Amino acid sequence: MAVVTDPQAPELTHLRHDGTAHMVDVSAKSATSREATATGTVHTTAAVMALLGAGDLPKGDALAVARVAGIMGAKKTPELIPLCHPLPLAKVTVDFDLGAAEVTVRATVKTLGVTGVEMEALTAVTVAALSVYDMIKAVDKHAVISDIQVLAKSGGKSGDWSVDADGGGTQR
């Protein structure tokens, strides 16, 4: 298979020159403190949010379950995403912001390692949001998960980055 590349395009690190996938060699990189924060939203109804906030859903305390699910998801990231490196996670936090008809999930992951934890933060948010969905689907089969994204990352060679007010990225 011939691979055509644009000389102006950034190099894709997970592809070899022949176009096949590989796990990036990070053995020469120095371990640094790294952190990433991601977010996502579960949209539902005001009635479901009242049940969620009160812990009165048929399946029980959805937020407690979703918090543990998100932490477990971060820890399982290299088992779920084929080219992710297993990392020694130092800290994983999963928090929820309850709105009128939505719950926003926010996860922050920290490590002292040779590669970033953006995928772990995204996986934590995604698994937590899926767990919220699972807990509310008995009362809202039309709930929607959306807007999963990295909000910020720090550490490593590429430096610090965060989403600015208009949704674009800002290098720090």
Selected catalytic residue, list 134, 140, 147, 166: 134
3-state secondary structure the chain: CCCCCCCCCCCCCCECCCCCECCCCCCCCCCEEEEEEEEEEEECCHHHHHHHHHCCECCECHHHHHHHHHHHHHHCHHHHCCCCCCCCEEEEEEEEEECCCEEEEEEEEEEEECCCCHHHHHHHHHHHHHHHHHHHCCCCCCCEEEEEEEEEEECCCCCCEEECCCCCEEEC
Told to judge if 166 belongs to the known catalytic residues of this protein, a careful annotator would answer no
What residues act catalytically?
Answer: 134
